[in-house]
A and B are shown apart, each in its own frame.
Chain A
Amino acid sequence: MSHEATAGRGFDLRRMIHSPLALPLIGLIVVSVLMGFASDNFFSVSNIFNVLRQVSIIAILAVGMTFVILTGGIDLSVGAVMALAGTIAAGLMVNMGMPGWVGLLAGIGVGVVLGIFNGFLVAWGRMPAIIVTLATMGMARGLGLIYSGGYPISGIPSWISWFGVGRIGIVPVPVIAMVIIYALAWVLLQRTAFGRHVYAIGGNELAAKLSGVKTQRVKLAVYAISGLTAALAAIILTGRLMSGQPNAGVGFELDAIAAVVLGGTAIAGGRGLILGTLIGAILLGILNNGLNLMGINPYMQDVIKGLIILLAIYIGREWR
């Protein structure tokens, strides 16, 4: 038995092909090569960092989304929560004259509180996640508009732009933040009991509960994580725009879901990898970037992206 266990660890092509990462990776390579042919500029270092910087916000939102979807849930509120967190953070700095770091911490607090709100209603209120988070989406958006009167709040301390457009060496700060958040999420999902419980709930919630997993707490936690990553994305967005934008992030929840699903995570939960989500988010970003470089009409771009998502899911359907 031990022999077989060690044999499974070496290089094994069949295992790699059957890995849930195989399909997203192939997709990423195919799309990159196509874009490379279509545009000379695509494979330049500056363009690659440009793409990664652009995808960072969706990619960070998609981290929380991955946790939620792995449990079999969904979080439609991330775009609106991000906008609200950014707006309140900017408002506290500009209107209340608070130091920048207090504003940012308050923004993070807003995200986590709304996530806990979602999680509580889903886990203990036994309400469907899609409805709960749809309601939260509406409320968060409305609260942001009320708080700001509908206008962007600008005039925040200039150092905050570091989060959005700063660089360490040649690497943009949002890209570094994205990598760190993905690394933490990977550890959480693959190396802790909590992570296993997340997968277990998506795989079979009843079995998990009957074997003693505290399913309600785990569900609360995944929505809280989703709120947290929405708030972290808000910091980057605020730094990039140098203002709190109550109207930012409309439809970002759909891009985040698309990234998760393109990354090979089952929408019903239980199966999927956080690295897949990263690949999915980058794939979406490359499509955006490439279609832009090719000068394709933005309305047409949406149609093409939709078709590609459908195609990817169709191919992935029978995979494994």
Chain B
Amino acid sequence: MLELNGIKKSFGPVEVLHGVDLTVRGGEVHALLGENGAGKSTLMKIVSGILQPTEGTIRVDGQERQFADYDEAIEAGIGIVFQEFSLIPYLNAVENMFLAREMKTRLGLLDTRAMRNRAQEILRRLDVSLPLDVPIGRLSVAEQQFVEIAKALSLEARILVLDEPTATLTPSEVEHLFKVMRELRKQGVAIVFISHHLEEIFEICDRITVLRDGNYVATCDVADTDTDRLVEMMVGRRIENSFPPKPAIAKSAPVVLDCEEVQLRKDGPLSSFQLRQGEILGFAGLVGSGRTETALAMLGAYPATRCKLRVNGTETRFRDPAEGLMQGIGLLPESRKEQGLITSFSILQNISINNYGKYRKGHWFIDLKAERAATQDAMKQVRVKAQGPDARLDTLSGGNQQKVVIARWLNHQTRVLIFDEPTRGIDVGAKAEIYALMREYTAQGHSIIMISSELPEVIGMSDRVCVFRSGGIVATVEGDHINSEEIMTHATTGRTRNVA
């Protein structure tokens, strides 16, 4: 029904998909599997016309098609439900389903009755009942998802893409979704299902296509494979030699940060971990498993229900990242543009933003000369390639921007740094430099918490790894146990430790 051949996609000079094939038949649920950043979402954006492939063909029902935009893909019978819903929270289900395609009476007024009848008809087809008169923001996530699916079906979609639909659902909601998917499969709809949870794939899917780093790996029947084979296909046997050697860290190394318990949500799992002096502690797990939230909760930037923290043995509670900073704890956020950098500032201003105490003149004023000198030192230390301290941030590459954020914290006397996705969007050469900087930092007796979705990075850099799943730490591994199979298994099928 849907056939993709040799799809390539480049953003500027960077190719992110290197010739991907995908064939989806009518009446099957087809899993698209791969690590974060393997290219699944990009591929689905191409299928739905949001992005255009640089090379390759798309066939629908044997006919070659090119989608200039989303609307053309819809016309061809493709519907997509994104991770982030495109629903208007204040409108009800019917209004959302017919948004911009409202049915009208002969007088040009809204034909609410016709729309309502049509909505009910579709929801009956899904075997779902939900309140039609309530603003959709008050429905559960699962119900909103059904509305999204119904919306796609109201547009006569025969090929339905579900991008991580289960990520935010409770187990019983997942069951309900699977029931709906089975119903649609019976009606001959082709479904592309993206999920990181392997057991879900074994439960609902017929065939699987695996992507890795933008490459097509394989397509196989669910019946012919098992968890180990899938993990191996996803992770591959990549040789990574860009990582600096790991130093030996004594078991007796003092604990600098002791998170005695943290609970992100009410009734969520309870986690604890310790960060030792001089080590890199990896936080691994799938997107949305609670890694970033746990780190932010420690700094008081995420409202966790519980968070007990000891810094160098003293019980501490931070209300604000500024208080964490006083204790020498710094954060390099996952999204540099939105959370890390002030893009309207120069390199100099970005580096010194939290550190004006260091160069003062007459108590109140910034010593501009000292600031400039310190900035140049910090830039040299992290080897930022730029015109000079006054260069604007948007003229820098991702790697250099990240180095600026690192320089900010090195300039400040921090002892613990939290790196959230330290190398996201950074090219290979700069990655190696950032890894080297991280080791230089720990070699001075400082410590790092590294949150990363890239397994090779977690394995290559971490001295110990906390594996997260569903909002809590399910395992902490060290030594030889830091390998992709063990981490992926914990991350995708591990059991959470629930403590009331």
- Contact surface of A with B, Cβ cutoff 8 Å: 1-2, 4-5, 8, 187, 191-193, 196-197, 199-200, 202-204, 206-214, 270-271
Q: How far is the CB of B469 from chain A (nearest CB, A)?
A: 26
Tell me if B376 counts as interface (CB < 8 A to partner A).
Answer: yes
Q: Please list the 10 inter-chain residue pairs (A to B) with the smallest Cβ-Cβ separation, ordered nearest first.
A: A193-B356, A212-B325, A203-B342, A212-B354, A203-B344, A4-B388, A212-B322, A204-B342, A270-B344, A211-B354
Q: How far is the CB of B332 from chain A (nearest CB, A)?
A: 9
Q: Give the CA-CA distance A196 to B301 in the complex, in Å.
A: 22
Tell me if B340 counts as interface (CB < 8 A to partner A).
Answer: yes
CB distance A206 to B388 under 8 Å?
no
* Other A-B pairs, 19, CB within 8 Å; known A5-B388, A207-B340, A209-B321: A5-B372, A5-B389, A187-B365, A191-B365, A191-B366, A192-B364, A193-B357, A196-B353, A199-B349, A200-B342, A200-B353, A203-B343, A207-B338, A207-B341, A209-B320, A210-B331, A210-B333, A213-B322, A213-B354
> Which residues of the other chain, A, contact B379 by a CB distance below 8 angstroms?
1
Q: How far is the CB of A192 from chain B (nearest CB, A)?
A: 6
Contact sample, A vs B, 11 pairs, CB 8 Å cutoff: A1-B380, A191-B365, A191-B366, A197-B353, A200-B342, A204-B343, A204-B344, A206-B338, A209-B320, A212-B325, A213-B353
Q: Give the CA-CA distance A204 to B388 in the complex, in Å.
A: 22
Q: How far is the CB of A256 from chain B (nearest CB, A)?
A: 23
Instruction: Please report which residues of chain B, range 367-418, place their CB below 8 angstroms from some CB of chain A when the two chains form the complex.
Output: 368, 372, 376, 379-380, 387-390, 408
CB distance B345 to A200 under 8 Å?
yes
Q: How far is the CB of B352 from chain A (nearest CB, A)?
A: 8
**A271 closest partner in B (C-beta):** B344
> Which residues of the other chain, B, contact A191 by a CB distance below 8 angstroms?
365-366, 368
Instruction: Please report which residues of chain B, range 314-351, place their CB below 8 angstroms from some CB of chain A when the two chains form the complex.
Output: 320-322, 324-325, 330-331, 333, 338-345, 349
CB distance B366 to A193 under 8 Å?
yes
CB distance A196 to B340 under 8 Å?
no
CB distance A208 to B342 under 8 Å?
yes
Q: How far is the CB of B355 from chain A (nearest CB, A)?
A: 9
> Which residues of the other chain, B, contact A214 by a CB distance below 8 angstroms?
320, 322
**B414 closest partner in A (C-beta):** A212
Q: Give the CA-CA distance A270 to B393 in the complex, in Å.
A: 14
Q: How far is the CB of A190 from chain B (nearest CB, A)?
A: 9
CB distance A196 to B356 under 8 Å?
yes
**A187 closest partner in B (C-beta):** B365
Q: Give the CA-CA distance A203 to B337 in the complex, in Å.
A: 11
> Which residues of the other chain, B, contact A192 by a CB distance below 8 angstroms?
356, 364-366
> Which residues of the other chain, A, contact B356 by a CB distance below 8 angstroms?
192-193, 196
Q: Which bucket holds chain B's interface residue count?
A: 35 or more
> Which residues of the other chain, A, contact B366 by a CB distance below 8 angstroms?
191-193, 196
Take A211-B354, A213-B353 as given contacts and tell me if A270 and B342 are in contact as well, using a CB distance cutoff of 8 Å. Answer: yes
> Which residues of the other chain, A, contact B325 by a CB distance below 8 angstroms?
211-212
Q: How far is the CB of A227 from chain B (nearest CB, A)?
A: 21
**A202 closest partner in B (C-beta):** B344
> Which residues of the other chain, A, contact B330 by a CB distance below 8 angstroms?
211-212
Q: How far is the CB of B404 from chain A (nearest CB, A)?
A: 11
CB distance A1 to B376 under 8 Å?
yes
Take A5-B390, A8-B388 as given contacts and tell me if A204 and B341 are in contact as well, using a CB distance cutoff of 8 Å. Answer: yes
- Contact surface of B with A, Cβ cutoff 8 Å: 301, 320-322, 324-325, 330-331, 333, 338-345, 349, 352-354, 356-357, 364-366, 368, 372, 376, 379-380, 387-390, 408
Take A5-B389, A207-B342 as given contacts and tell me if A196 and B321 are in contact as well, using a CB distance cutoff of 8 Å. Answer: no
> Which residues of the other chain, A, contact B343 by a CB distance below 8 angstroms?
203-204
Q: How far is the CB of A97 from chain B (nearest CB, A)?
A: 39
Q: Give the CA-CA distance A187 to B362 in the complex, in Å.
A: 13
> Which residues of the other chain, A, contact B331 by a CB distance below 8 angstroms?
210-211
**B341 closest partner in A (C-beta):** A207
> Which residues of the other chain, B, contact A211 by a CB distance below 8 angstroms?
321, 325, 330-331, 340, 353-354, 408
CB distance A204 to B338 under 8 Å?
yes
Q: How far is the CB of A6 from chain B (nearest CB, A)?
A: 9
CB distance A203 to B345 under 8 Å?
yes
Name, among A2, A199, A200, A207, the residue most crowded by chain B CB atoms within 10 Å (CB to CB). A207
**B340 closest partner in A (C-beta):** A207
Q: Give the CA-CA distance A196 to B356 in the complex, in Å.
A: 9
CB distance B321 to A2 under 8 Å?
no
**A4 closest partner in B (C-beta):** B388
Q: Give the CA-CA distance A211 to B354 in the complex, in Å.
A: 6
> Which residues of the other chain, B, contact A210 by a CB distance below 8 angstroms?
301, 321, 331, 333, 339-340
Q: Give the CA-CA distance A251 to B144 in the complex, in Å.
A: 46
> Which residues of the other chain, A, contact B345 by a CB distance below 8 angstroms?
199-200, 203
**A1 closest partner in B (C-beta):** B388
CB distance B339 to A207 under 8 Å?
yes
**A209 closest partner in B (C-beta):** B321
Q: Give the CA-CA distance A200 to B322 in the complex, in Å.
A: 14
Q: Give the CA-CA distance A271 to B320 in the complex, in Å.
A: 26
Name, among A187, A197, A214, the residue most crowded by chain B CB atoms within 10 Å (CB to CB). A214
> Which residues of the other chain, B, contact A197 by a CB distance below 8 angstroms?
353
Q: How far is the CB of B206 from chain A (nearest CB, A)?
A: 43
CB distance A8 to B365 under 8 Å?
no
> Which residues of the other chain, B, contact A212 by a CB distance below 8 angstroms?
321-322, 324-325, 330, 354
Q: Give the CA-CA distance A199 to B342 in the complex, in Å.
A: 9
Q: Give the CA-CA distance A192 to B363 in the complex, in Å.
A: 10
> Which residues of the other chain, B, contact A8 by a CB distance below 8 angstroms?
388, 390
Q: How far is the CB of A299 from chain B (nearest CB, A)?
A: 39
**B333 closest partner in A (C-beta):** A210
**A211 closest partner in B (C-beta):** B354
Q: Give the CA-CA distance A208 to B357 in the complex, in Å.
A: 16
Q: Give the CA-CA distance A196 to B330 in the complex, in Å.
A: 19
Q: How far is the CB of A164 from chain B (nearest CB, A)?
A: 31
**A216 closest partner in B (C-beta):** B320
Name, among A187, A192, A213, A270, the residue most crowded by chain B CB atoms within 10 Å (CB to CB). A213
**A191 closest partner in B (C-beta):** B365
Q: Give the CA-CA distance A258 to B342 in the complex, in Å.
A: 26
> Which residues of the other chain, A, contact B376 by a CB distance below 8 angstroms?
1-2, 5
Q: Give the CA-CA distance A214 to B301 in the complex, in Å.
A: 13
Q: Give the CA-CA distance A145 to B339 in the complex, in Å.
A: 46
Q: Give the CA-CA distance A8 to B387 in the complex, in Å.
A: 10
Q: How far is the CB of B9 from chain A (nearest CB, A)?
A: 30
> Which residues of the other chain, A, contact B321 by a CB distance below 8 angstroms?
209-212
Q: Give the CA-CA distance A112 to B119 in the complex, in Å.
A: 57
Q: How far is the CB of A184 from chain B (nearest CB, A)?
A: 12
Q: How far is the CB of B360 from chain A (nearest CB, A)?
A: 8
Q: Give the CA-CA distance A200 to B325 in the complex, in Å.
A: 17
**A217 closest partner in B (C-beta):** B322
Q: Give the CA-CA distance A4 to B347 in the complex, in Å.
A: 14
